[in-house]
């Protein structure tokens, strides 16, 4: 899923037209606080797992390996299942995780979650920088419901995504700052232009309040934000006890 910031398809992305290795090297130059969102994700999941022994985590959009790398290094008893639709990004994840000595606790799957044949119920999940690549409210809702359906009641989900309304003044203000940030970090102008033109084509953000409504309709409760960087926000929520 992470062909750019991440992606739900196997085609190229507006963020990264080069190979998976270059994606891993460049993404932190594009997103201010890139590592911070994963550090905050870690502390929230750790707190909500409350010292559960040998928890199993579901990583939706595992390409590149950043989530598993961040969590696996700090928690030697955590076990991971990572899903992604990009074979190249999964290979990059496998290389990074293998070099870190984590692959004995990781299973990577080249699949969409909706078609994944697995009945296991997980203790926590992440879906970082993925949702904006899913087109349409109903498709986004279906993805989040698929995640909820594979979680135990009370299990946390950490999610981050680009959000906002591209035609709004607020969007233009944030994009102006983001453009200067990227160009100042060595991102080429044509790469920025490709990204800027991607909205409504390969990237489909929704306003923050719509994402929060999606989470609630998918069966999550306690929805709250934990990260913000220009037009990227992060949310944490838990699967409602009475959710199927």
Convert 224-240 into a string of H (helix), E (strand) and C (coil): EEEEEECCEEEEEEEEC
Arithmetic mean of pLDDT over the chain: 91
Q: In what order do the strands lie in the sheet with 56-60?
A: 106-110, 79-84, 56-60, 124-128, 156-162, 232-239, 220-229
Give dist(CA 93, CA 73) in Å, integer.
14
Going by pLDDT thresholds of 50, 70 and 90, the confidence category of residue 9 is very low
**Predicted local distance difference test score (pLDDT) of residue 53:** 93
Provide the whole-model pTM. Answer: 0.90
**Predicted local distance difference test score (pLDDT) of residue 243:** 73
Q: At what angle do helices 189-196 and 169-184 cross, to 10 degrees?
A: 160
Give yes or no for residue 132 having a pLDDT over 70: yes
Nearest to 97 by CA among 53, 56, 61, 63: 63
**Predicted local distance difference test score (pLDDT) of residue 19:** 53
CA-CA distances (angstroms) from residue 139 to 113, 131, 132, 178, 209?
A: 12, 10, 11, 28, 17
Going by pLDDT thresholds of 50, 70 and 90, the confidence category of residue 225 is very high
């Amino acid at each position: 899923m992470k062909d750019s910031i991440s992606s739900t398809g196997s085609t190229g992305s507006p963020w990264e037209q080069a190979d998976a290795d270059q994606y891993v090297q460049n993404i932190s130059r594009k997103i201010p606080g890139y590592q911070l969102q994963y550090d905050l994700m870690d502390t929230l999941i750790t707190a909500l797992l409350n010292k559960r022994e040998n928890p199993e985590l579901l990583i939706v959009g595992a390409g590149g390996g950043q989530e598993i790398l961040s969590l696996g290094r700090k928690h030697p008893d955590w076990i991971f299942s990572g899903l992604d639709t990009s074979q190249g990004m999964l290979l990059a994840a496998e290389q990074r995780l293998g070099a870190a000595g984590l692959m004995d606790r990781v299973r990577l799957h080249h699949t969409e979650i909706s078609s994944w044949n697995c009945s296991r119920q997980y203790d926590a999940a992440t879906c970082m920088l993925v949702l904006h690549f899913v087109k349409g409210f109903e498709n986004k809702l279906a993805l989040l419901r698929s995640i909820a359906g594979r979680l135990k009641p009370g299990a946390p989900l950490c999610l981050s995504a680009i959000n906002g309304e591209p035609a709004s003044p607020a969007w233009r203000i944030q994009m102006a700052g983001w453009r200067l940030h990227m160009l100042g970090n060595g991102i080429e102008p044509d790469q920025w232009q490709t990204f800027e033109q991607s909205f409504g084509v390969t990237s489909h953000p929704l306003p923050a309040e719509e994402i929060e409504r999606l989470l609630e309709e998918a069966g999550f409760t306690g929805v709250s934000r934990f990260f913000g960087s220009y037009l990227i926000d992060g949310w944490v929520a838990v699967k409602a006890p009475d959710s199927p």
